[in-house]
Structure 1
Amino acid sequence: MTGLAVALVFLLAGFVKGVIGLGLPTVAVGLLGLFMTPVQAVALLVVPSLVTNVWQLLAGPTFLPLIRRLWPMLLGFGIGTWAAALALGADAGAQAGRLLGIALVAYALVGLSRKRFSVSPARERWMSPLVGAVTGLIATATGVFVVPAVPYLQALNLEKEELVQALGLSFTVSTIGLAAVLMAQGNFQPSLAGASLASLIPALGGMFLGQWVRGRIRAETFRLLFFIGLLLLGAHLALR
């Protein structure tokens, strides 16, 4: 029964990610936490998250230009992840998760109000590494790679498919950093690695279906789903 429940969780999480480009870690960790420890849930997430993010990254149209543009943020991810692994206490995750949820809800409400933010090239130069470092810190505490990376990437005014690809790039780097921290702490055991690999199949199936749905909706509908998804994810984290 547990194996079936895990498969269904990753099928749903993959579908959400396929439609709006994010949400697999939050959906998966939140639902898996109903019947396993948070550390086990995050460890199960590693392979599906890494592979689906790489798929999302490589499926987009502008891989190399995004690398050249976003590399300072990616470097910041690595610095923030390892700084958090060394500095955060054992009970930091729950409090950080609540604060993350509140921030997501606030950002989603602003987005649904149609107020647009933009980052100028001059600000992008210094904001990019800072955003990466803060996202790495929060991701290590919560297992969720969303804030402030997602609001920042959206403020760069990327096209729909460019934004989805940029999210895949940032989440790929974040997943690698989180996996490295888990292995260094001894929390990614061979048995969990095998279960994480098996969870990849339903996650990919859900993501493929979600991408099919995304390709058939208008840009404005995508934007609406994007912010509703953030609102639901934030409410889940804030109230958990």
Structure 2
Amino acid sequence: MPPETGRLTLESLLHLTGDPAFWAACAVTLFAGFVKGVAGFAMPLIMISSFSAFLPPEQALAGLILPTLVTNVSQATRQGVAAAWDSVLAYRRFLIATLVMIVVSAQFVRVIPQAAFLMLLGLPITAFALAQISGRKLALRLEHRDRAEWIMGGIGGLYGGVSGVWGPPLIVYLLSIGAEKVETVRVQGVVFFLGALVLFGAHLQTGLMAGPNLWFSAALVLPAMAGQVFGQRVQDRMDQARFRRWTQGLLVLTGVNLVWRALML
């Protein structure tokens, strides 16, 4: 990866593009962007899981931040800025809880062991998704929706600051309330964008997003966007039932992957 410097130089760019790990990261990001375009989520999880096989943990986390930030701008505003703002207002409790906990937990990214966090998140996510696929009704009761937003948002933010992945609790919540496809994807974009923005700011302060890590992350924006565009074309042809099955299946894989990551740490 590029030399330890905060300035973007020709030397650093040549060093970056000459590293096989960089091209491997681009391929992973292209695929992750495609999945995100189809389902609206899972890009950070695919990236962090794959990156961990050939990159240091901190660089793996840094790499996903800017692609996540940029792709979610497109996803959140696909139906217009007004629709995105409506989603902010409708899910404001979830957003507040998520953003606050991302800031808090990001400060401990270098000291908190991730294995226990990932296991505690992965097991219930997997169980929930499998139950949904099997036809069991596990929807949250609407009279407790406000409380559920605070709790699920806080859980997502807690894990997000440490691992860069805060989507699964949101997906569980949206599946539970029966949100339709367009709303689901837009709300994911809004929550993920604001979360990525806060995570980026938090790790500018921690020093994680500086020098080579910053430029590495910036270089992955293009393959992320390209993959997302192709994925969105597939999503547009899906009906609600098929989209829900895709979401449930990816949620199972997400949970299993979180458990696997915990066991490998």
> 1:153 — aligned with what?
174
Cα 1:113/1:60, change in 2 over 3 Å: farther
> Equivalent residue of 2:145, what SS?
helix
AA at the equivalent of 1:141: V
SS of residue paired to 1:22 = coil
Please give the TM-score of this superposition, normalised by the length of structure 2.
0.84
Instruction: Give aligned pairs, total.
Output: 240
Answering whether residue 206 of structure 2 is matched by residue 185 of structure 1, we say: yes
What residue in structure 2 maps to residue 28 of structure 1? Answer: 47
The farther-off stretch of 194-203 and 79-88 is: 79-88
Which stretches of structure 1, 4 residues or longer, exceed 4 Å deviation after superposition?
A: 86-89
What residue number does 1:57 align with? 76
Which residues in structure 2 correspond to 1:196-215 (within 5 Å)?
Answer: 196-215=217-236
**Cα RMSD after superposing both structures:** 1.8
- The percent identity for this pair of structures is 28
Decide whether the 8 Å contact of 1:19 with 1:211 is kept in 2: yes
Residues 74-113 of structure 1 correspond to what in structure 2 (within 5 A)?
74-86=95-107, 90-113=111-134
1:47-90 Cα distance to aligned partner (Å, 9 max, x none): 10001111111013632321211112111112212332356772
Aligned residue for 1:133?
154
Q: Residue 114 of structure 2 aligns to a residue in which SS?
A: helix
CA contact 1:60–1:162 (8 Å) conserved in 2: no
What amino acid is aligned across from residue 99 of structure 1 in structure 2?
Answer: L
Provide the residue aligned with 1:165 in structure 2.
Answer: 186
User: Residue 125 of structure 1: CA displacement?
Assistant: 2.4
Alignment of 1:106-125 (within 5 A): 106-125=127-146
Q: Return the match for 2:35 from 3, 13, 16.
A: 16
Q: Contact (CA 8 Å) 1:77, 1:173: kept in 2 or not?
A: no
- Aligned partners of 1:172, 1:47: CA distance in 2, in Å? 10
Deviation at 1:171, TM superposition (A): 0.9
2: CA distance between counterparts of 1:103 and 1:139? 16
CA contact (8 A) 1:94 1:142 kept: no
Counterpart of 1:5 in structure 2 is 24
Residue type at the aligned position of 1:36? L
Structure whose CA Rg is larger:
2
In the alignment, which residue of structure 1 is the partner of 2:88?
67
Contact 2:106 2:199 in 1 (8 A): no
Query: Does 2:66 correspond to 1:47?
Result: yes
Letter in 1 for 2:157: G
Distance 2:180 2:21 in 1: 40
* Structure 1 spans left out of the alignment, 5+ residues: none
TM-score (norm 1): 0.92
State which drifts further: 156-165 or 125-134. 125-134
Cα-to-partner distance string for 1:6-32 (whole Å, 9 max, x where unaligned): 110100110111111100100001111
Residues 1:130 and 1:237: Cα distance change in structure 2 (over 3 Å): closer
Mapped to 2, the partners of 1:143 and 1:234 lie a distance apart of 15
2:245 aligned residue: 224
Q: Distance in 1 between matches of 2:109 and 2:154?
A: 14
